[in-house]
Structure 1
Amino acid sequence: MGSVELLPVGRRVAYWRVRRKLSQQVFADQLGKSKSWVDKVERGVRRLDKLSTLQEIARVLRVDTAALVGRDASSVQATGPVEGVDRIRAALSRYEIPWGEPAGGPVVTVDRMLRDVGYAWTTFQYARYPQVVDLVPELLTNAQRTHAEAPRVEAYRIVASLSLKLGDAGLAWLAVDRAMLAAADDRELVSAAAVQLGQVLRALGRVREARSVLLGAAYRITPPVIDDAAPAALSLCGALLIQAALAAAQDGKEAAAGELIDEAAGMAEQVGDGCDHHRTGFGPTAVDLARAAAAVEVGDARAAIAWHDKAIARPGWRWLPAEHRAAHLLDVARAHLHAGDASNAARMLSEVERTAPAEITSRPVARRILAEVVRDPRAPTTIAKLAATLGVG
């Protein structure tokens, strides 16, 4: 085992698969993945940077996760200290029914809820996650004290998005489940909440369920005549198609992902850049970012970087929220790592820090990427200092 521990993660997966007498196809079937996905993992073309995926592989191979990650275990599980998450969980666990005067306090007016939800979304989109953590408990309490469905759904969507950023998919699932229930029979609200539901399922590695949910929601609200459709409806439908495409890419279905993004691209051209209907940031630039993210998922680093270069040349790049831009830059950092280019990965991380510092300090995935970059002897000194400051490495 001593020599096995020195192997890259993908080769360790191959070692244990062979030890368990599993072919690549059988192994892929048990994981719910494609054979090409397994092959790319084992050859190191596709990186395993999600703890949930590593845990599922370890379960199928009947080994401890540590046997797969070895000396990388500390970086895979690295998380940033974010205070207040327990208060969010406690607030989300309370149930109050807004009939007249609930036991916990008076009914909250619709105007106040809309104002508070708008402020929380704006704070989130500026990537000020610690501040959003502070806002959320009261927002959740008030969400249960209002008769209005729309702001209640939006409050739960914010919590789901925030929880995903902080690496707590279980908490995000609870929040998005509340959102779906609050949406009741309103097709628009259900579809808006389905964006976060798809993201949660993807984070949990349940990519086939994610794709099914997202496509069902998208096609339920697809306007009968695209050319006459309202930009808000097209934005929501397009955002759902993009999330479905990313789920397909995670599942190794590259062609299906491309087709779905192409479908979203037609809608994006009608919407244009600079809009943020349903907090999606949907438009032609967002579609290019999605193409880059899908390319990262299927292990095509060159395509991901090319789409990134195209996207940031658009005027719409500057109009996207800081959170959206920073999240994309993390994807591009992953692409450079896939290509063995630690220097450019470090450059992307530096850009993330300038754009949205909390994207680095609060997101576990960012800290894992940072840990991998600083292990490379070619990493610049500035990134080494950032890693040392955050205790990553």
Structure 2
Amino acid sequence: MRSRTGGGGVTNDDIPIGRRVASWRVRRSMTQQMLADRLRRSKSWVDKIERGARALDRYSVIQEVAHVLRVDPEVLLGQPPSTPAGTPDGVDDIRAALARYDIPQAAPRTDELRRQVGHAWLTYQHAHYGQLVRVLPGLLDAAQGARSPELLVQTYRITSSLLVKLGEADLAWLAADRAMSTASDDPLLAATATISIAQALRAQGRDHLALAALLPAANRVLPQSTHSGDQEVCVTFGDQTSRKPLDHEGQGDRWGRAVGGVLLVQAALAAVGCGEHRRADELIDRAVGVATNLRGYDDTHHTSFGPVVVELARVLVAAQRGDADAALQRHSTIVRREGWRRLPAEYRSAYLVDVARVYLQVGDLRGAARALVDADCVAPAEVRCRPLARTVIADVARGHPAPAGVARLATLVGLTR
């Protein structure tokens, strides 16, 4: 790679850093003024950075810009993202398993494969990512050789979710796309695959594409009249509207509603990422209606959906549209609920890392540190293996002095102040 200075900063290729900032700002559906406001700087400052009229050569400032744009600083610098200490090896083995097209001669029995897939889901939900990285290549081989589309879809979904955690969004999208192709004849399985598709797209910063996938999928699996009051849950994206929900009855009804509820939650997060704040609020309100009418279902599709999940999403939507204070007030109430403690460790820890970012929005380093330490107590790998968490730790550790507990985390993940 060539190193170059100029065009507003130093990068390791021929694209000036200012152009990278502009590109990611557009992908995040932000105007120059919006980026300036979140950085607490002037629009003129952003414009000069993007045009190369002002140098962006201080790493601490690059970190601030990267944090607002939700990318690693290395992305703005044109460098391969560094691997945090504690990140499990083995992603190349997963990539190789996804690239194999030869079918094993002896496929495992379906009941044995189902047991293995169930164990993999538990491993993921407990955030034992190192163990899961070692297991997945063999599980992918077994599932691809079996004759069970349902279990193969689940295996691809687990793989995609883990790869998103490890910062491998492109490979995660490949696994999610495989899930969708496998599930094409089953509307409910296809809807679960759409959850993975959307998570991978959002991790790539492609919120518009995620939203375009999520809304039709939600319409297909939810009844035409899902109540938040008596509002119909029929949401559209452009001219993409689906008004042919599944036939719902009994447990299948509850499964469809749970999957549909997650699709609405993901759609709300994608919408606010696109700057469509009103639509995000409407989607959250509709997800409330789904969750309110959903009680006592068997979470076969591993959605974790329920009223608390919707309220956590409401916190993140409020924070991303700039209402950080209101978001934190709501957060402090939700985490006292019994439903919060019943969520998987992975889910709670990931949410707490997001909340640490909200505390940073309001300049509360102690609150951010407390959220990070709590996240580490719930699921250490969620904090120590994820590039996103590493960036938040670095932001908090820049405080003088670094808040208690965060200096230790910074050392554990290989960061230096």
TM range (shorter): 0.7 to 0.9
* Amino acid of the structure 2 residue aligned with 1:265: V
Report Cα offsets for 1:89-142 as digits up to 9, x if no partner. Answer: 111110134xxxxxx331222212211111000000001110110110111000
- The offset of 1:297, in angstroms, is 2.3
Aligned residues of 1:46 and 1:297 also touching (Cα < 8 A): no
Say whether the 8 Å CA contact 2:117–2:155 is kept in structure 1: yes
Work out the CA distance in 1 between the residues paired with 2:277 and 2:23.
Answer: 16
Report how far residue 225 of structure 1 moved.
4.9
CA distance in structure 2 between the aligned counterparts of 1:368 and 1:29, rounded to whole angstroms: 17
The letter of the residue matching 1:301 is A
One-letter code of the match for 2:160?
Answer: A
User: For 1:330-345, what aligned pairs fall within 5 Å after superposition?
Assistant: 330-345=353-368
The TM-score with structure 1 as length reference comes to 0.83
Change (3 A) 1:310 1:121: same
Task: Find 2:101's aligned residue among 95, 106, 112.
Answer: 95
Q: Residue 53 of structure 1 corresponds to which residue in structure 2?
A: none
Kept after mapping to 2: 8 A contact 1:241/1:264: yes
- In the aligned structure 2, how far is the partner of 1:170 from the partner of 1:340? 33
Output one character per residue of 1:43-74: Cα deviation in whole Å (capped at 9) or x when no partner. 22699xxxxxxxxx99x9476xx947734558
RMSD: 3.1
Deviates more, 1:78-87 or 1:205-214: 78-87
Q: Give the Cα separation in 1 of the matches to 2:300 and 2:282.
A: 23
* Structure 2 counterpart of 1:356, one-letter code: A
Corresponding residue for residue 73 of structure 2: 76
Residue 128 in 1 paired to residue 125 in 2? no
> What letter matches 2:90 in structure 1?
G
Q: Find the counterpart in structure 2 of residue 178 from structure 1.
A: 178
TM-score, scaled to structure 2 = 0.78
- Greater helix content: 1
Identity of aligned residues (%): 41
Distance 2:168 2:51 in 1: 25
Q: Residue 304 of structure 2: which of 281, 284, 288 is its match? A: 281
Q: Does 1:206 align with 2:229?
A: no
2:33 corresponds to 1:44: no
Mapped to 1, the partners of 2:197 and 2:138 lie a distance apart of 23
**Distance in 2 of aligned mates of 1:255 and 1:324:** 26
**In 1, distance between residues paired with 2:357 and 2:310?**
19
Asked if the contact 2:268–2:281 (Cα under 8 Å) also holds between the matched residues in 1, the reply is yes
Corresponding position of 1:31: 26
Q: Which runs of 5+ in 2 are unaligned?
A: 10-16, 64-71, 75-81, 228-247
1:212 & 1:250 partners in 2: Cα distance?
Answer: 13
Q: How many residues align?
A: 357
| SS, match of residue 44 in structure 1 | helix
Match in the other structure for 1:237: 260
User: Are residue 310 (structure 1) and residue 360 (structure 2) matched?
Assistant: no
Q: 1:135 to 1:260 in 2, by over 3 A?
A: same
Contact 2:27 2:205 in 1 (8 A): no
CA 1:79/1:184 → structure 2, altered by over 3 Å: closer, same or farther? same
Partner of 1:386: 409
Kindly tell me: are residues 32 and 380 of structure 1, through their superposed partners in 2, closer, same or farther at Cα, counting changes over 3 Å? Answer: closer
The answer on whether the counterparts of 2:349 and 2:383 sit within 8 Å (CA) in structure 1 is: no
Amino acid at match of 1:40: M
8 Å CA contact 2:161–2:196 kept in 1: the answer is yes
* Displacement of 1:346: 0.4
Tell me by how many angstroms 1:221 deviates.
Answer: 1.2
Tell me what 1:21 maps to. Answer: none
For the 8 Å contact 1:268–1:284, the answer to whether it is kept is yes
Equivalent position amino acid for 2:223 in 1: P
User: Alignment partner of 1:92: what SS?
Assistant: helix
Instruction: Write out per-residue CA displacement over residues 13-44 of structure 1, whole angstroms, 9 at most, x where no aligned residue.
Output: 9xx69xxxxxxxxx799925556x54232122
Q: Give the secondary structure class of the aligned counterpart of 1:167.
A: coil
Which stretch of the first structure deviates more once superposed, 75-84 or 107-116? 75-84
Matches for 1:108-147 after TM superposition, within 5 Å: 108-147=108-147
* Counterpart selection for 1:258 from 281, 306, 324: 281
Per-residue deviation, residues 194-219 of structure 1 (Å, max 9, x unmatched): 00101111111111111010001110
Give the Cα separation in 1 of the matches to 2:392 and 2:262: 26
Contact kept, 8 Å, 1:272 with 1:284, in 2: the verdict is: no
**Segments ≥4 residues shifted beyond 6 Å:** 27-30
Decide whether the 8 Å contact of 2:268 with 2:279 is kept in 1: yes
Partner residue of 2:370 out of 326, 341, 347: 347
Matches of 1:216 and 1:362 in 2, distance apart?
Answer: 33
Could you tell me which amino acid in structure 1 is paired with residue 96 of structure 2? A
Stretch deviating more after TM superposition (106-115 or 179-188): 106-115
Amino acid at match of 2:169: A
Deviations 1:273-310 (A, max 9, x none): 88634111100000011111212322321122122122
Decide whether aligned partners of structure 1 residues 300 and 367 sit closer, same or farther in structure 2, where only a CA change above 3 A counts. same
Pick one of 347, 372, 376 that aligns with 2:395. Answer: 372
Aligned CA distance change for structure 1 residues 30 and 312 (closer, same or farther; 3 Å) = closer
Q: CA deviation at 1:252?
A: 1.3
Q: Which stretch shifts more, 370-379 or 237-246?
A: 370-379
- Give the superposition deviation at 1:327: 0.7
The Cα of 1:270 is off from its aligned counterpart by 1.4
